[in-house]
Amino acid sequence: MQLLLSNRREVPIPRELFGLFFEDINYAADGGLYAEMIENRSFEFFDCGGDRGDYYAVPDYGYAWSPLPGRQAGKMEYVTGSPVAPKNPHYLRFTASCSGQGFFNRAYRGIFLEKGKQYRVSFYARMASFSGDLSVSVQKEGRIFAQAQVRGIHAPEGTWQKWNRYETVLTAKEDAKNAVFAIVLDGPGTVEFDFVSMMPQDALAGIFRRDLVELLKELKPGFLRFPGGCIVEGNTLENRYRWKESVGRPEGRRANFNRWALHETSAQNGWHSPYSHYNQTLGLGFYEYFLLCELIGASPLPVLNVGLACQFQSFELVETDDPAFGEFVQDALDLVEFANGTPDTFWGGVRARMGHPAPFGLTMVGIGNEQWQTQESDFFGRYEAFEKAIHEKYPEIRLIGSAGPDVTTGRHTMAWEFYRKKAGEKKNFCYAVDEHYYMEPEWFFAHTDFYDRYPRDVKVFSGEYAAHPQKGMNNPKANSLEGALAEAAFLTGVERNSDVVVLASYAPLFARDGYTQWSPDLIWFDEKSAYGTPSYWVQKLYAQNRGDWTLALSGQEKALAQEGIYVSASLDETTGEAILKIVNRNPQKKRLEIKTEDRNGQNAVPERTVRIQELAGQPEDYNCIHEPGRVKVKERTQEFDGGIDLPAHSFLVARIRLF
Ligand code: AHR
């Protein structure tokens, strides 16, 4: 097999092309990227169940909290009356009948501490009838791993309703696994508690799990789409994501149950999934998403609800002629002001007071998540209303439309007909249309030419894609090398067509081991560590070797695809290297002879060294928390000998200095 590597530039590859899609699914936010270690910190959790059209959320304010065991346990009551923040009205009223009684938080699968590391604890307490000290600790079966004393501030008689905020730092004396977080009173009495928090001191910006952010940074993301996904829509409109409730001080952000608490409920599980207590504190809110974009160098791409609850899960909607629909449109306008407005505007002022007077530089907004047109939903009418209002005020904002949940049905065709027709009438009607496809690996291998014939008038946002060799909850095996190779092959076509596909993101991004509603996922983690799947390595190789221009292949890729070899070529202008991305899906190793041409179309002799990064193994290989590096990239530099050896089942990036 042979490839003639041309130096003819075809299309520029956008800086933003390879990005990220973040959704709070699989405990990606609370219990994940948001470094809060306490579960149900403000005593507002719900236990959810039900089926399409009949979802319910039962208050379970004491979820994850229990009295410490002992001969006599203290009394736990979840009350309301005068809370720290009215939006989160419940709190714990704890009564100890003697010294040493206390309560604990189970903190997901338990607290993990690393010896020597520090953890910042804070909580609100009101000494209803108690005068003494509180002991804060991480412990397991009576063994203390970290501890600090907090002196209770006893408010003067008649002012007992005053909440005080307490802070202390715990230093781990030794490693702890599956431990609990506890607060103990040193005498009898009643104390009320709210908003109990524990964060690692090394959390980035004080709130992001450092190891997870590092993994994101390595993907050099061009953009970050947030906060979903289906949680934008909610199973019900009541449950939808409201960005305005996610800003301001965290104590005042109204907690909400998570739409993924209701995934795969069925008669077999009594319409109640193992994740029925999956809730959202919104500690990771829109301000934090914008901050995260800055931290990882990604363009922000927030997605907004258009007055539709999840079209798979509900029929609920707000009609476009209902005055309530105006609030959804207003949310979009206010979001642009929140991100970009000067501090003297209302929403720009909210941002500035939160600590960011400079604008966040928002340039893109997603109109709806995974919406499609039906007579009832009238998604197109909704898109038009948003477009008109946003572009009247902010003509420079790039809007993202939706082509629905797949690329194989009439929903997709209808969407494209709509956007293309409208694009002919109005120039910036839609910047890119968001397409979603979760398919078997074979589909990806067979569709590397998917975008070759797409009209170029409206761009594509390949917003959610992943090869699914297997599915299922909590299934790290679903992230096999086979799936990753299929994605790598497909991305050769995306890169080659990056004049029309301008944004692309794998989905979902994160999965907490044992708390996962959807597999496969890009990055898995537990309370102590995280790893990249084979798909992660593919994304990383693409992003770190993006190139500035595609180089012409002139149809050679089609013949090679017949042989199970998938290729793209690009040029790194800074280094002058040609970047070849090559997938060999065959069970045998192959060799690809490389011929090169110089500027005059003559054969050029490449510099002698080739830098190669390679991902290879068996199709069913996968990484897991106990063996995170089974499939990973190996690097080598070798003499160029006229060709490249391709191991069986491999994806390889070769950098060759040509000219
Ligand atoms: O990525 C998981 C889900 O897939 C997203 O929430 C939704 O947009 C799609 O259906």
496-534 pLDDT, tens digit each: 999 999 999 999 999 999 999 999 999 999 999 999 999
pLDDT tens, position by position, 21-31: 999 999 999 99
Residue-level pLDDT at 606: 63
Provide the token pair at 423.
Answer: 């694009």
The rounded distance, in Å, linking the Cα atoms of 348 and 346 is 6
370 is catalytic: yes
Q: What pLDDT sits at residue 224?
A: 98
- CB of 366 closer than 6 A to ligand 1? no
C-alpha dihedral sign at 555, 556, 559, 565 = negative
Best probe residue, ligand 1, of 230, 240, 461 (max atoms within 8 Å of C-beta): 230
Q: What is the pLDDT of residue 596?
A: 83
Residue 232 has pLDDT above 90, yes or no: yes
* pLDDT score at 608: 73
- Ligand 1 within 6 A of 518 CB? yes
Per-residue CA distances from 167 to 14, 250, 611, 650 (Å): 46, 16, 51, 52
- Read off the pLDDT of residues 386-427 as tens digits, 9 standing for 90 and up: 999 999 999 999 999 999 999 999 999 999 999 999 999 999
pLDDT number for residue 602: 57
Catalytic residue among 23, 44, 370, 387: 370
Torsion angle (degrees, nearest 10) of CA 344, 347, 351, 352: 10
What six digits make up the tokens of 607?
């510099």
pLDDT at 556: 97
pLDDT per position as a tens digit, 237-288: 999 999 999 999 999 999 999 999 999 999 999 999 999 999 999 999 999 9
| 3-state secondary structure (DSSP) of residue 537 | helix
Domains in the chain (CATH in brackets) are 2-13+551-657 (2.60.40.1180), 20-36+204-230+290-340+351-546 (3.20.20.80), 46-200 (2.60.120.260)
Closest CA to 482 of 468, 462, 465, 463: 468
Q: What is the pLDDT of residue 159?
A: 60
Phi then psi for 222, rounded to 5 degrees? Answer: -75, -30
Mean pLDDT of the chain: 95
Can you tell me which atom of ligand 1 is nearest the CA of 312?
10
Measure the CA–CA gap between 458 and 146, rounded to whole angstroms: 57
Higher local confidence (pLDDT), 604 or 486: 486
Q: Looking at residue 153, what is its pLDDT?
A: 81
Residue 612 phi, psi dihedral angles, 5° rounding: -125, 135
Distance 55 CA to ligand 1 centre (A): 19
Q: What is the pLDDT of residue 162?
A: 86
3-state class of 359 per DSSP?
Answer: coil
- Average pLDDT score over residue span 629-640: 94
Closest CA to 400 of 474, 460, 315, 334: 460
Ligand 1 within 6 A of CB of 405: yes
Which residue is listed with tokens 């898995």?
Answer: 524
Q: Please, what is the end-to-end C-alpha distance for the chain in angstroms?
A: 23
C-alpha closest to that of 281 among 498, 111, 35, 109: 35
Q: Tell me the whole-structure pTM to 2 decimals.
A: 0.97
Q: How far is the CA of 89 from the centre of ligand 1 (A)?
A: 31
Q: Which atom of ligand 1 is nearest to the CA of 436?
A: 9
Which residue, by CA, sits nearest to atom 7 of ligand 1? 229
pLDDT in tens, 570-609: 999 999 999 999 999 999 999 999 998 765 655 565 667 8
Rounded distance, CA 528 to CA 122, Å? 21
- Are 367 and 380 in contact by the 8 Å Cβ rule? The answer is no
The dihedral sign for the CA sequence 572, 295, 301, 221: positive
- The pLDDT of residue 612 is above 60: yes
Q: How confident is the model at residue 157 (pLDDT cuts 50, 70, 90)?
A: low
Is residue 650 scored above 60 in pLDDT?
yes
Residue 183 pLDDT class (50, 70, 90 cuts): very high
465 CA to centre of ligand 1 in angstroms: 9
| SS (HEC) of 79-100 | ECCCCCECCECCEEEEEECCCC
Between CA 292 and CA 244 the distance in angstroms is: 18
Give me the count of residues in the chain. 659
Q: Whose C-alpha lies nearest to ligand 1, atom 4?
A: 229
Asked whether 296 lines ligand 1 (CB < 6 A), one says no
Which run of H or E residues covers position 21? strand 20-21
Q: How far is the CA of 228 from the centre of ligand 1 (A)?
A: 7
